[in-house]
Structure formats: structure tokens, C-alpha cells
Amino acid sequence: MSRAYSRWVELRPGSRATVLIVLVVLVGNGFYVGGLTDSSPLSWTTNLVTVTCHLSCTRSSIDPNIGFITQPLGYLASHQVFSGHWPFWNPFEGLGQPLLGEMQAAALFPPIWLLALPAGLLWFHISLEIVAGLATYALVRRLGVDSTVATFAGCLFALNGTFAWLGNAVVNPVCLLPVTLLAVEYVMDGVRWSRPTRWPLLAVALALSMAAGFPE
């Protein structure tokens, strides 16, 4: 135990924060990761009568659009991408509808491609929460706050209410908020020290925010 503790103490603060944030996210999704509850919304959004509930029914979202839009369109987009095709078209809706142009599919948002995996929607949401937590930690540290407080902030934002109660496209760009703010801090530093190379992270964060499926 002492050897493990000494190794833990020897880790850099950023490494300890990363481990803790990932563990907190996995524990927060423990019922789904452990298979105690079905993470697929199809079990409650494909019935003739849809009952929207959360804690009482152990559902992962209060919005049934997670089963009507997020999962089916995200899976279709990821399937087309991994089949070597651009996800331009959805042939399963009416006589066909734009898939990439419809935007809620988040077809060019890289994390959505996790939906091609078994339990892909669960791992998609876990990846968003981890990014949100780590980016918040980096942002708070960038503002000069102690590593312990920054880790706590990262854990809190990784499990914020939007992630906890919603699961449709609304949650997709949330993880990019701290990334964008962190990028703004870097750009401000670049302007202050005449280093114009600090802008790429901001460009990537804004582009992903638009591609995340909830441009509003």
C-alpha cells in the first residue's frame, strides 16, 4: 500500500487529475458501464407510448430525442464514415433527407463515430464528460488556481446537470466550452507576447462546436 501511495504522490499533478477525473466519470456512469442498466434509449423510445422519465425509470435522459435523433442519426453517420463514404444523405427518412446538412446528426464530430461500437452511445457520452473535465481542469489551472481545486472543478463540470439529465444533441458542444475559454486565454497570451501561433486551438474548438450537432 505504501509503495502504491508513494507512486501516486510521485505523479505529476496533471496526471493525478487525469486519473481522478476519468475515475469520477466512470463511477458516475457506473450503472451503465457495469451493465446494471441498459444504456440504449431504444428500449423506451420505440414503444407506441413513450414515457419520459429519469430516476424512477433509470433512464439516461429526460429527452426522448436521444432515441429519435441522436442515436439513429449518429450511428448512420458513423457507419457511412467507416464504410468510406461521406455522410451526406439519410435514405431512411421519407424519400431521403440530408444527413450532414441536417446538423443534428453531428456527422463530422469525431466523438460521434464511437456510436459504431457496441454501447457506442454510452462511450460517446463518457468521452464528452472526460473532455469536459480535463479541459475544465486545464482552464482553472491556467487561471492560476491550485491543482486540487482545479481537479475538483474538473470533476464537477464533467458530471454537470446537462450531462446528467440530457443525452440528445444539446450535450454535444458542452465539453467544448472550457476548451474554447482555454483557447481564448492562449490567444490573449499570444497577442500580449506577439505570438500569433496561439490561435489554432480556438479555431478547432469553434469548428467542433459548430459540427457538434447543436449549433444553436
Return the pLDDT at 102.
Answer: 84
Predicted model pTM = 0.86
Least confident of 7-21, 49-63, 116-130, 175-189: 49-63
Query: Is residue 189 included in any domain, yes or no?
Result: yes
Query: Is residue 216 included in any domain, yes or no?
Result: no
Query: Is residue 25 included in any domain, yes or no?
Result: yes
Residue 33: give the domain boundaries. Answer: 2-211
Among left, alpha and beta (phi > 0; psi -120 to 50; other), residue 12 is beta
Query: Is residue 175 included in any domain, yes or no?
Result: yes
Query: Is residue 153 included in any domain, yes or no?
Result: yes
pLDDT tens sequence across 65-111: 777 788 888 889 999 999 998 999 988 888 888 888 888 888 899 99
Query: Is residue 119 included in any domain, yes or no?
Result: yes
Give the confidence band of 32 by pLDDT, cuts at 50, 70, 90: confident
Query: Is residue 116 included in any domain, yes or no?
Result: yes
Domain count, the chain: 1
Give the confidence band of 54 by pLDDT, cuts at 50, 70, 90: very low
Query: Is residue 137 included in any domain, yes or no?
Result: yes
